[in-house]
Amino acid sequence: MLHKAIEGFFISRRADNIADTTLAIYRHYLRLFAERIGDVEMDRIDADQVVAFAAWLQTEYVPQRLNGDTAPLAASSLANAWSAVRSLFGWAERRLNTGRPDRAWQRPRVQYVTVQPFSEEEMRRMLDAAQFTRPAATTRRTIFRMKRPMGKRDKAIVLLLLDTGIRASELCRLRVEDVDLNSGIATVRPHGTRQKTHGRAVFLSKRTIEAVWDYLASRTAHPADPVFIKTDGLVMDRMRLAHLVKRIGLRAGVEGAYPHRFRHTFAIQYLRNGGDPFTLQRLLGHRDMDMVRRYLALADDDAQRAHKTASPVDRWRL
């Protein structure tokens, strides 16, 4: 039966050390798939049913997101659904000798959005918003601002994301023992199947070292403890980190603030400042150069615009 097969699929995937985030995505879309198809035998599912499910996701399905947004699924989300269904039937073919009706569902084409790094001015505003409350005006005193209770933590998060380009999940998994504040080296440990998180070293600037030290010194932290924790003392997770960055962006008046945008900013600035792309690939933990090439294209556009402004031939009207 389909539900039993899905249960076996997840047992197998966990044994293969598939990342928890990937499993959560698969679980969501396979639950939808099972609800639409019904609890039928795997070998009774045909290509028409799979294609009908794909069409339903695109046209009728109403997502229930935490922020209340009910817009249709983006192409990237449809690609995640495609991957979940394909993975299930690929496993079933190997383990249960079933057919592959999923092959009738063509992979959705994902259009990459233009990378939008933070500007220097936006980063200064976000750092300020991470540490201080909004200005408060009263009738009895001048406008004033106060330090936020978690300002030290949030400043360290903003600087560490920007300074290293690590992923949100990688930051959340950092342990105190992974960050050597004397050498300024943080160790990102390999995780899951290592398809995304490769073990590597990243480097911290003096200001970031100071901010991380200042935060850790404000609490009791043991070597095996997470570097960043929530106000209740529990480990920071990706969703909480995303909400935190969004709130900082709103206070700073910066639209579209999310953790991965720091990674884009780090990469673009690294190339703008003369860093080589192969070292950048290693620092970011990419398996190949595809994403780095996108960053290079943006850096080249910057150089071309700078040349148009600074060219002596144009400036001197020769």
Q: How many CB atoms lie within 10 A of CB 36?
A: 14
Q: pTM (2 decimals)?
A: 0.72
Quick one: 276 and 144 in the same domain?
A: yes
Higher pLDDT, 256 or 66: 256
Quick one: 184 and 100 in the same domain?
A: no
Neighbour-count burial of 26, counting CB atoms closer than 10 A to its CB (0-12 exposed, 13-18 middle, 19+ buried): buried
* Structural domain containing residue 147: 120-287
What digits encode the pLDDT tens for the residues 35-75? 999 999 998 999 999 999 999 999 999 888 766 778 888 88
Please give the mean pLDDT across all residues of the chain: 88
- Residue 78 domain flag: yes
Quick one: 138 and 63 in the same domain?
A: no
CATH of the domain at 195: 1.10.443.10
Quick one: 211 and 134 in the same domain?
A: yes
Report residue 310 as tokens. Answer: 């600074």
What digits encode the pLDDT tens for the residues 109-166? 876 667 789 999 999 999 999 999 877 766 666 776 788 899 999 999 999 999 999 9
What whole-number distance in Å separates Cα of residue 14 and Cα of residue 194? 14
CATH of the domain at 40: 1.10.150
Name residues whose C-beta falls within 8 Å of residue 209's C-beta, 6 or more positions apart in sequence. Answer: 181, 184
Looking at residue 305, what is its pLDDT?
A: 62
Quick one: 96 and 124 in the same domain?
A: no
What digits encode the pLDDT tens for the residues 154-174? 999 999 999 999 999 999 999
The share of the chain scoring above pLDDT 70, in percent, equals 88
